[in-house]
Structure 1
Amino acid sequence: MSASTVPERNDEVDRIVDAWNRERPDLDFAPLQVLSRVARLARQVDRARRAAFTRSNLEPWEFDVLAALRRAGTPYRLSPKALLAQTLVSSGTMTNRIDRLVERRLVERQGDPSDGRGILVQMTGSGLNTVDAAITRLVDAEADLLGGLSSGEQARLATLLRKLSLDLDHAGEQPA
């Protein structure tokens, strides 16, 4: 490790790993150096996201549905099946979520013009304003979390995390 990459100070993970190294020098704790930090950071990111959504009067699941509709582009509508694929919840859960968003007037159900029996979920103007405010708050909060890293460091970290994510996704697809 070069002098420029040596951490300036130790964090809690360093203290934990040092203690394990003392107690179990026979094990390689390198994975803990990475994944314990990822787990701790995930908790901090979750708190920041929840705070951003709370300021927009949204639950995280509400943001997920509205964000999927927003990313679909004008006219901001998708079938419930498409929403299921993007939010990875069960059909019953999605029906309940759509019902609750309809009650809040953030989305509305419409008949599907290409399928007389189908429905589409369309975001309302209120839903659009709400999700746009929420994503702005989210991006600002996450930028604050990454404020200690340069743009180059952020790009390198994103590349490494993408590689790890793709590797883990691919490993999960392998037959047991």
Structure 2
Amino acid sequence: MAQADDDVDAIIDAWAEILPDLDLTPLDVMSRLRRVAIDLHRAREAAFAAAGLRVWEFDILSALRKAPGDGSMTPSELAKTTRTATGTITYRLDRLAARGLVSRTEHPDDQRSRLVAVLPEGRQRVEAAMRTLVGAESEMLSGLSRDQMATVIASLRIIAATAASGH
């Protein structure tokens, strides 16, 4: 089934006229990824807001909820996991603790550090946000079959690995 041209097709067509010798396939792919990323960001913000969370709050609570063992992490581990500066993570943990979403206790093996754990209210909010998010993302992908989704996943893994390696 042929699909109607969209705004990316118009961009590609215009550049093909200007630079007919250039293969614009990478621009075609990445322009579409960029547009999907914008839509995904909006869907995530809405899912998190519905649970009373901001994006960064979800990221921290999600990391804690998935943490192995007793489900606690040090601020340094959280900073690394969420790719956040340690000073920023301290500020954010203060805000989450003030809202009753996380607790901080003394680290039994390191007096210079603390352990952070998600509290029941934080657990409920992060799980509700995840359910809403997966529903929204499922709707975004509803036009794809399972096989097509597997192909997209495999392709994006390759793109991510290539980008991470600097090639």
Unmatched tracts of structure 2, length 5 or more: none
Matches within 5 A, 1:16-95: 16-73=11-68, 75-95=70-90
4+ aligned runs moved over 6 Å, structure 1? none
Matches within 5 A, 1:122-141: 122-141=117-136
1:152 to 143, 147, 150: 147
- Cα distance in 2 for residues equivalent to 1:114 and 1:100: 25
| 1:115 equivalent in structure 2 | 110
- Quote the offset at 1:74 in angstroms: 5.4
Q: Give the TM-score taking structure 2 as reference length.
A: 0.95
- The total of aligned residue pairs comes to 167
- Cα distance in 1 for residues equivalent to 2:47 and 2:59: 13
- Cα distance in 2 for residues equivalent to 1:115 and 1:32: 50
- Deviation per CA, 1:27-48, whole angstroms, max 9, x where unpaired? 2211111000000110000011
- Quote the offset at 1:24 in angstroms: 2.2
- Cα distance in 2 for residues equivalent to 1:167 and 1:31: 13
- Cα distance in 2 for residues equivalent to 1:97 and 1:24: 48
- What amino acid is the match of 1:34? V
| 1:142 equivalent in structure 2 | 137
- Deviation per CA, 1:104-151, whole angstroms, max 9, x where unpaired? 110011001122332011111111111111111111111111111011
Matched-pair identity in %: 41
Q: What's the secondary structure of 1:109's corresponding residue?
A: strand
CA root-mean-square deviation: 1.3
2:97 to 98, 102, 106: 102
- Quote the offset at 1:99 in angstroms: 0.5
- What amino acid is the match of 1:87? T
- Cα distance in 2 for residues equivalent to 1:12 and 1:117: 55
Q: What's the secondary structure of 1:117's corresponding residue?
A: coil
- Deviation per CA, 1:41-60, whole angstroms, max 9, x where unpaired? 10000011111011011000
